[in-house]
Structure 1
Amino acid sequence: MTTLNLRPSTPGARVLGMGSWQPSRIVTNDELAQRVDTNDQWIRDRVGIQSRRIADEGTLLVDMAAEAGSLALKDAGLEPTDIDTVLVATCTMPDLIPNAAAQTATRIGIPAPGAFDVNTACAGFCYGLGIASDLIRAGSAGRTLVIGAEKLSDWLDWDDRSTSIIFADGAGAVVLGPAPDEASVGIGPVAWGSAGDMKDAIRINHATHGIVQEGQTVFRWATTQIAPVALRAVELAGLTLADIDVFIPHQANLRIVEAVTKRLRKAGAREDLRVADDIVHSGNTSSASIPLALDHMRAEGRVRSGDVALLVGFGAGLSFAGQVVVIP
């Protein structure tokens, strides 16, 4: 019988560094009100957004991904040559092929890595984190760059009030590496799933090339179904909600964030739980929203080294995923 020589595995993965990038252009609610029937208070009351960042036409999704990835490498103290795998979570590439990951790696200067994209829309970063962590644990990957990047402005009907006020552009990234021992493992098992029967809740209108969203349907689903996913992720990590210092859900809608947080506190989360509210000034950046919020919270001093963070993404598909992460 032939025996295959398997690469040695590790106890798991940990985060080594992080970074994020956003366009410089800030679009306010008042600016959007000049095009669609809305106003600043109407938008704040419904989704909690005050402003968002929109890239210019010449900025590509892979440009944003490369900027965020480069910053994450610098934060980790690593060179591009130290990375062997690149994963980009995105749902807004202009074409199905070529993928974003290989192009992004080349822009950063990473030589010949394994490179692939993950498209589970707003759940993409958590899916990517789970995949990368397991690749490292199995010995199939070493230091891995995971990026969430979206240029949603390319996929909007700017005359559709229900979507043009919500979505925005940006990228966030983390570098993962093998944990030297079990005590150093910094990424818990992923809790994930999907609800394909609700595929029409968020979709593309092929006539307009724009995103269509059934807002109330998504709101009802997220406010009832996401808290159990978060609880499952905590259980898989062998922890309780009382162990969680920071909660970073996908920044879809501030009302959804607040509703899910309320359910978690009723289930045992601490009152001093720090909760991401990046949507206020970044908008909904789909798969980029969680790493963006994480990096922004760290810059603001709201996330510190050693904190235990609960990440949960959810979006089109419908897809959802979450895991517990220890902040480096």
Structure 2
Amino acid sequence: MNAAHTPARPRARLTGVGGALPKRIVTNAELSERLDTSDEWISARTGIKQRHVVSEGENAVSLSTAAARIALERAGVGSANVDAVIVATSTPDQVFPSVAVRVQAELGMAQGFGFDVSAACSGFIYALSTANAFIQSGQSKRVLVIGVDVFSRLLDWEDRSTCVLFGDGAGAVLLEAGAKEGEGVLSTHLHADGRHGDLLYVDGAVGNPGIGSKTVVKMQGREVFRHAITHLASAVDEALAANGLHSSDIQWMVPHQANLRIIDGMAKKLGLGSERVVVTVDRHANTSAASVPLALYEATKDGRIAKGDLVLMEALGGGLTWGSALVRL
């Protein structure tokens, strides 16, 4: 008697990428007019030259919707065929409804489900992993994954140690079932260590009244930097080992765009030349959960990253949270 055949799990492929940035650009020179800083000081320490900041009429939902429309258009898929929307964000426009269901409404979706994920700057990797699991389980065939943050809402614009670091933006990808063996999302790897939550945080919550005036980013930059290099290297090694690959197999690294020094440090550890690393931090600053998909959008749009390329994505954020993903487009 033959053993029962177990069908292979569906595999997720990434079919469309989109991005959106606010219209307003704030340069280092503009910040230096009201802060004790300079373009040289900011650039030397972070690699950042400018950032985009929302204006009236722009918010997490509008940026997410714009990025989602581009991703769907590039995938050739209508919103009526999307089963779920998962949004990674630390800066929703409302406590509830979630950004995800607001995007559903803007896209005219009357089907499926949506929810937000909170994992700070690692949020997109967390959301991508969640969407991949829905597809592997067979519960969903197409999932829209969005990373969006409007950190200009959370900044003390008189604190030069934090306000120069962040920008606003959104990035989106569409995952669809149907990847062949060796293609699509090869693996994702998620981690967190709440013992280090006080290294990077924002106070203020609905359940914590009276603290709203203190809702600004607080960060111990040196400690975050130290943890970033260690944890990201470990997560990358984990992803490569899980797939029997070596760093030389990676065509592109699309890292979280927090600081050029961290990006360069990771590239050096992997032995990757700068020509194989996507960098947008100079123009976008740190857009938190949006930074990885925004960088991926830019590099696929200009043709650097092409179909069949092996792409490594990684990020670390407040929590501390961190993770990696290997995707063959």
Note the C-alpha offset of 1:301.
Answer: 2.8
Match of 1:126 in 2: 125
1:189 to 165, 187, 190: 187
Note the C-alpha offset of 1:180.
Answer: 5.1
Letter aligned with residue 307 of structure 1: D
Q: Deviations over 1:146-204 (max 9, x none)?
A: 00011111111111111110111000000000025435x41022111112111001111
Inter-CA distance 317–106: structure 2 relative to 1 (3 Å threshold) = same
Match of 2:174 in 1: 175
State the distance in 2 between where 1:14 and 1:237 align: 16
SS in 1 for 2:17: strand
Flag structure 2 segments of 5+ consecutive residues without an equivalent.
Answer: 1-6, 204-210
Match of 1:81 in 2: 80
Match of 2:293 in 1: 291
The 5 A counterparts of 1:146-161 are 146-161=145-160
Match of 2:39 in 1: 40
State the distance in 1 between where 2:60 and 2:293 align: 16
The 5 A counterparts of 1:1-328 are 10-179=9-178, 181-183=180-182, 185-205=183-203, 206=211, 207-265=213-271, 270-271=272-273, 274-327=276-329
State the distance in 1 between where 2:227 and 2:180 align: 39
Note the C-alpha offset of 1:9.
Answer: 6.6
8 Å Cα contact 1:234/1:323 also seen in 2: no
Letter aligned with residue 247 of structure 1: M
Letter aligned with residue 314 of structure 2: V
**What TM-score do the two structures reach when normalised by structure 2?**
0.92
State the distance in 2 between where 1:318 and 1:272 align: 27
Note the C-alpha offset of 1:224.
Answer: 2.2
Percent identical among aligned pairs is 38
8 Å Cα contact 2:190/2:322 also seen in 1: yes
**What TM-score do the two structures reach when normalised by structure 1?**
0.92
Letter aligned with residue 173 of structure 1: A
State the distance in 1 between where 2:198 and 2:72 align: 38
Letter aligned with residue 22 of structure 2: P
Note the C-alpha offset of 1:210.
Answer: 0.9
Q: Deviations over 1:127-158 (max 9, x none)?
A: 11111111101101111100001111111111
State the distance in 1 between where 2:10 and 2:244 align: 15
8 Å Cα contact 1:11/1:181 also seen in 2: no
Moved more, 140-149 or 296-305: 296-305
Note the C-alpha offset of 1:65.
Answer: 0.4
SS in 2 for 1:11: coil
Note the C-alpha offset of 1:225.
Answer: 2.1
Inter-CA distance 182–128: structure 2 relative to 1 (3 Å threshold) = same
SS in 1 for 2:9: coil
Note the C-alpha offset of 1:226.
Answer: 1.0
Paired residues, what number? 315
Flag structure 1 segments of 5+ consecutive residues without an equivalent.
Answer: 1-7
Note the C-alpha offset of 1:272.
Answer: 7.1
Note the C-alpha offset of 1:235.
Answer: 1.8
State the distance in 1 between where 2:106 and 2:298 align: 24
Inter-CA distance 272–249: structure 2 relative to 1 (3 Å threshold) = closer
Match of 1:5 in 2: none
Note the C-alpha offset of 1:108.
Answer: 1.3
8 Å Cα contact 1:121/1:317 also seen in 2: yes
SS in 2 for 1:160: coil
Note the C-alpha offset of 1:321.
Answer: 1.0
SS in 1 for 2:263: helix
State the distance in 1 between where 2:180 and 2:186 align: 14
Note the C-alpha offset of 1:57.
Answer: 3.4
